[in-house]
């Protein structure tokens, strides 16, 4: 039995993972191949490349992608690897393709925005340029959210489309725009980042600002009456945002995992702000505030939060066994104007403070896990989703290739 299989077999249910899962590069490489690369991953929002030639670059695993809007107004995900000798083609974080082309900075091979090779200098007359376009990966856009998958045969996306239609769709995310984008480099294994996001056991001690207004920071049994009142208020507004649990092992057969969960805010709170008060114009179907927030997740590491007046995209991107990028994007209504309809600093305050605290506590977690004295402890009743996540990863590692 190989070391990964031995560690999977030895795992104690209901407990955190053993050290090698968080520290061993061989375990990380196995997770990339058997777990992460078969799923869909959010890379951004449609508003980041609205017109032909607009693009932005994004990292996924150890790859760079160019997300570009073509002349047909369709988005494509092109691998940022020149077909000549492998140089990065696009070096800018975002922009507009000049003259409708990407030009490799090394030997000036140029590519049309659909990825086809436009020109290559001083090659033989029989060179077939049709065989040397930029390679691409699967891409889907659902409610403005851009998802990519590097697998040859991706998981089905129909269930994601249905669930996001009844969550992100109600909030008008298809017509939203990115108001701000922030990235945090976390010196920790990607699973520690995910486990932290999947539980709110840490919220009361680590996120005082969040816990003051979000009832999700309390045990579920304390929130039932508040969540019931939230459901009633939402129905009164003529809205229907159901709770759905098709995540992890609960995913529908051959479909990407997805869930949606509603949670009440504290009395008198309407948005995720420093004072609990409005931040931006109402979005989507909302004509007034309902006093709630909706969490939804797609696949392993794409997470979303929706308030009535703004939304957030959380992307967790594994780079190495002990380095993970945590990217946060804030969404507002598409026609909202910065400085007039919303203030960027005020809009982003809560989740900047929260993300900075998350970075700190996750890195402390990794430092402790690195110790020779580390032993996996049991999950609490408020960490059931972290335990579900861990079990999902273990089953993916055990699956036949």
136 close to 150: Cβ distance less than 8 angstroms: no
Q: In percent, how much of the chain has pLDDT > 70?
A: 100
pLDDT surpasses 50 at 351: yes
Instruction: Give the pLDDT confidence score for residue 401 in this predicted structure.
Output: 44
- Do both 129 and 216 map to the same domain? no
Band of pLDDT at residue 271, cut at 50, 70 and 90: very high
Instruction: Give the pLDDT confidence score for residue 400 in this predicted structure.
Output: 62
Instruction: Give the pLDDT confidence score for residue 220 in this predicted structure.
Output: 83
Tell me the average pLDDT across 265-273. Answer: 96
**Residue 22: inside a domain:** no
**Residue 386: inside a domain:** yes
**Residue 28: inside a domain:** no
- Do both 178 and 88 map to the same domain? no
Tell me the average pLDDT across 142-146. Answer: 98
- Do both 217 and 321 map to the same domain? yes
393 close to 39: Cβ distance less than 8 angstroms: no
State both tokens at 98.
């000049």
**Residue 8: inside a domain:** no
**Residue 101: inside a domain:** yes
What phi, psi does 342 have (nearest 5°)? -155, 155
- Do both 235 and 381 map to the same domain? yes
- Do both 341 and 225 map to the same domain? yes
Tell me the average pLDDT across 21-41. Answer: 96
Domain harbouring 81, CATH code: 2.102.10.10
Domain harbouring 359, CATH code: 3.90.380.10
**Residue 226: inside a domain:** yes
pLDDT surpasses 50 at 177: yes
pLDDT surpasses 80 at 356: yes
Count of alpha carbons within 13 angstroms of residue 45, beta-carbon side: 27
- Do both 99 and 225 map to the same domain? no
Q: What DSSP string runs through 181-225?
A: EEEEEESS-HHHHHHHHT--TTHHHH-HHHHTTBGGGS-GGGTHH
Tell me the average pLDDT across 206-229. Answer: 92
- Do both 134 and 201 map to the same domain? no
- Do both 303 and 172 map to the same domain? yes
Q: Work out the burial of residue 372: count CB atoms within 10 Å of its CB; fewer than 13 is exposed, 13-18 middle, 19 or more buried.
A: exposed
**Residue 3: inside a domain:** no
Structural domain that includes position 346: 158-398
Q: 94, 109, 138 — which closes off a domain?
A: 138
Tell me the average pLDDT across 338-352. Answer: 98
Tell me the average pLDDT across 53-76. Answer: 95
pLDDT surpasses 50 at 268: yes
What average pLDDT does the chain have?
Answer: 96
290-325 tens-digit pLDDT? 999 999 999 999 999 999 999 999 999 999 999 999
- Do both 191 and 297 map to the same domain? yes
- Do both 128 and 164 map to the same domain? no
**Residue 270: inside a domain:** yes
Instruction: Give the pLDDT confidence score for residue 228 in this predicted structure.
Output: 92
81-121 tens-digit pLDDT? 999 999 999 999 999 998 999 999 999 999 999 999 999 99
Instruction: Give the pLDDT confidence score for residue 265 in this predicted structure.
Output: 96
Number of domains in the chain: 2
Tell me the average pLDDT across 133-153. Answer: 97
In Å, how far are 70, 134, 207, 384, 387 from 52, measured between CA atoms?
A: 5, 17, 42, 45, 44
pLDDT surpasses 70 at 260: yes
Tell me the average pLDDT across 51-61. Answer: 95
- Do both 163 and 220 map to the same domain? yes
Instruction: Give the pLDDT confidence score for residue 61 in this predicted structure.
Output: 84
Instruction: Give the pLDDT confidence score for residue 246 in this predicted structure.
Output: 97
C-alpha 117: how far from its chain's center? 31
153-171 tens-digit pLDDT? 999 999 999 999 999 999 9
Instruction: Give the pLDDT confidence score for residue 1 in this predicted structure.
Output: 74
- Do both 163 and 242 map to the same domain? yes
Band of pLDDT at residue 353, cut at 50, 70 and 90: very high
State both tokens at 65.
């992608």
Band of pLDDT at residue 399, cut at 50, 70 and 90: confident
Q: Give the DSSP H or E segment for 392.
A: helix 384-398
Q: 103, 138, 173 — which closes off a domain?
A: 138
């Amino acid at each position: 039995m190989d070391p990964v299989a031995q560690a999977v077999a030895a795992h104690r249910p209901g407990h955190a993972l053993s050290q090698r899962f968080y520290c061993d590069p061989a375990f990380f490489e196995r997770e990339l191949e058997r777990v992460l690369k078969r799923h869909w991953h959010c890379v951004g929002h449609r508003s980041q490349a609205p017109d032909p030639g607009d693009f932005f670059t994004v990292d996924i695993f150890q790859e760079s992608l160019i997300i570009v809007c073509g002349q047909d107004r369709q988005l494509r995900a092109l691998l940022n690897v020149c077909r000549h000798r492998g140089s990065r083609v696009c070096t800018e974080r975002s922009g507009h393709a000049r003259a409708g082309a990407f030009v490799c900075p090394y030997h000036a091979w140029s590519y049309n925005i659909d990825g086809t090779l436009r020109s290559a200098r001083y090659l033989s007359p029989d060179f077939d340029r049709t065989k040397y376009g930029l390679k691409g990966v699967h891409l889907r856009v659902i409610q403005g959210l851009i998802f990519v998958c590097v697998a040859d045969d991706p998981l089905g996306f129909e269930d994601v489309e249905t669930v996001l239609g009844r969550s992100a769709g109600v909030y008008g995310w298809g017509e939203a725009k990115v108001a701000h984008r922030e990235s945090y480099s976390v010196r920790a294994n990607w699973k520690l980042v995910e486990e932290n996001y999947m539980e709110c056991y840490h919220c009361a001690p680590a996120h005082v600002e969040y816990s003051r207004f979000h009832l999700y920071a309390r045990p579920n049994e304390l929130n039932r009456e508040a969540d019931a009142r939230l459901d009633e208020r939402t129905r009164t507004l003529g809205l229907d945002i159901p709770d759905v649990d098709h995540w992890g092992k609960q995913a529908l057969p051959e479909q990407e995992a997805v869930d949606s969960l509603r949670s009440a805010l504290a009395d008198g709170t309407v948005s995720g702000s420093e004072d609990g008060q409005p931040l931006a114009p109402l979005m989507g179907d909302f004509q007034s505030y309902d006093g709630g927030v909706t969490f939804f997740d797609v696949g392993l590491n794409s997470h979303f939060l929706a308030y009535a007046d703004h939304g957030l995209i959380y992307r967790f991107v594994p780079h190495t066994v002990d380095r993970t990028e945590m990217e946060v994007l804030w969404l507002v209504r598409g026609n909202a104007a910065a400085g007039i309809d919303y203030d960027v600093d005020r809009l982003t305050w809560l989740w900047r403070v929260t993300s900075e605290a998350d970075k700190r506590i996750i890195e402390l977690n990794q430092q402790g896990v690195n110790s020779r004295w580390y032993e996996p402890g049991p999950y609490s009743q408020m960490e059931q989703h972290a335990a579900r996540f861990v079990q999902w990863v273990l089953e993916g590692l055990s699956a036949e290739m």
